[in-house]
Amino acid sequence: MWTSSALPSLTLGLAALSGTLAQSYNDIPEIKAVGQHFFYSNNGSQFYLKGVAYQENYNPNGTNDANTKYTDPLSDASKCSRDIPFMKQIFTNVIRVYAIDPTQNHDDCMEQLASNDIYVIADLSEPGTSIDSNNPSWDVNLYTRYTAVVDSLSKYKNVIGFFAGNEVVSAQNQTAAAAFVKAAVRDTKGYIKQMNYRSTLGVGYATADVPSRDELAHYFACEPEDGSATSIDFWGYNVYSWCGDSNYQDSSYGERVDFFQDYPVPVFFAEYGCIEGVVGGPTHRPFTEVAVLYGNMTSVFSGGIVYEWFYSDNHYGLVEINGNSVSPYPDFTSLSSQLAKVTPSITQSSAYKPSNTAPACPSVGGTTWAAVASPLPPAVNPQLCNCEVANLQCTVDSDDEDSYADVFNYICGADQKYCDGIARNATTGDYGAIGGCSPKQQLAWVANQYYEGSSNKASACDFNGLAKTQSPTTSAGCEALISAAGTDGRGTVPSPTGQQGTAAASSSSKGAAAGTMSAPSFFNYGTTFFAAYVITALVSGVGMFVL
């Protein structure tokens, strides 16, 4: 390992790094997905990702712990100027960031990246605000976070797009969660279009190399409804099967090329770089897979993103950081050497005629797949949620979410119909119109259903002081939304209009804990309640798929 904080040969133009070429993120050519490939929008040349994951002290597998801290990698200009010269030594043209703070200013880092022809793919979630693999939902808290990130990064032309989820499905009994990620893809794409953000912004998903990977790939690319509103724009594959000096066959790279041969959107390695069994240890990865990834795989794959830049406790990392000093490890040199030798064939967009079509959606059955592709969870509409709560006679008067479980348990156990409006069943496609609201709003809804079902008795709207009666109000624009959702909450949810993310985004400053993510719905509130509701649902014939 050698150390340098400033090398003359790595200056890459200090004017560029100091911001002299201001606003170059407005001038850099956009990257657009056409069929199975990415292309530069200005000259039509094919774009291959030569990337690195760039997030300090972060576990990309995610956590729902709102107290987990993370550092926004795009908000500190000094760190960007420290790292970018070294990134260029490994031919970096894209970085993947796993969590950004949408309330921070990213202009300086994005300018530096653009000035060095580096693009960005950003995950939309953050610790504490992500789709839970075992108890999934797609609700107003997630929607607000996702749209806030889109609002924050949409102006930068060196943003290729976003991941709506990363390894959300990592086990066979978690496939139902895919429905909620597909709904997130749909609503994020819809938001980009509705806000008239540039059409080249894509939304994709990154999967682990799991047993259900084939069904996942088909599910996210299939189009059960007219058009591509629910299908991903690109597919990221986190692959760690090539370890040390493996080969095309032993790593199963060949099988992956065969499988994605007819895939309709670009596919790339969203993470790669196995550390298992490497001679010399984790920092000595030889990256012999690079020659294959940018060689005979290029007819199907669009390159990849090495995991990861910062060395951390998981023993992955290309460099050690000590203040302003960057110390590359031996695998940094190996990666640079391997990438220097590749010359992938370039296709011009003018000569490329996409012919691949959307695959069939996987069928629900057995233990292999548990999510129908249509209907998906309804669109999240924050205005509807606010309208519904204001129009209730009985509402929740407490923000203590730890106390919600018993009330949910009691009400839904008393009569399952009270909770129909917040139902979510990815296997049958049975969803309530209120299920996309916050836990407090969902509880207010079911409490009101119970209150009305109890002949509006005062004692039926108390729950040990958790609830209270109120005078219902209906603001302008609410009547149509409430009518669409229905008095039983089993109706439809109109798509929201207007900017949704930026104004409502909670601030989590650099290095601070992530914004609090409330438990997504009543299924989170204890196993006692969950069991009671499942029994009630089964007795009534509704059915419930247990994750």
State the catalytic residues. 167, 271
- In the 3-class helix/strand/coil scheme, how is 263-303 assigned residue by residue? CCCCEEEEEECCCCCCCCCHHHCCCCHHHHHCCCCCCCEEE
Residues 6+ positions from 531 with CB-CB distance below 8 Å = none
CB of 132 within 8 A of CB of 169?
no
CB of 388 within 8 A of CB of 434?
yes
User: Residue 209: is it exposed, middle or buried by C-beta count within 10 angstroms (0-12/13-18/19+)?
Assistant: middle
Amino acid letter, 463: F
Q: Which residues are 34's β-sheet partners?
A: 37
Give the Cα separation of 401 and 443 in Å (integer).
10
Give the Cα separation of 257 and 261 in Å (integer).
6
Q: Nearest Cα to 121, choosing from 150, 84, 88, 151? A: 150
Note the helical H segments in 54-139.
77-89, 107-115
Q: For strands 267-272 and 301-306, give the pairing.
A: parallel
Torsion over CA of 42, 48, 54 and 58, rounded to 10 degrees? 120
- One DSSP character per residue, 230-274 reads TS-SEEEEEE----SS--TTTTTHHHHHHHGGG-SS-EEEEEE--
CB of 128 within 8 A of CB of 514?
yes
Give the Cα separation of 268 and 239 in Å (integer).
10
Torsion-angle region of residue 535: left (phi > 0), alpha (psi -120 to 50) or beta? Answer: alpha
What b/e sequence results for 329-347 when a residue is b if at least 16 CB atoms lie within 10 Å of its CB, and e otherwise?
A: bbbbbbbbebbeebebeeb
Tokens of 165: 């989820």
Distance of CA 203 to the CA centre of its chain: 9
What single-letter DSSP state applies at residue 197? -
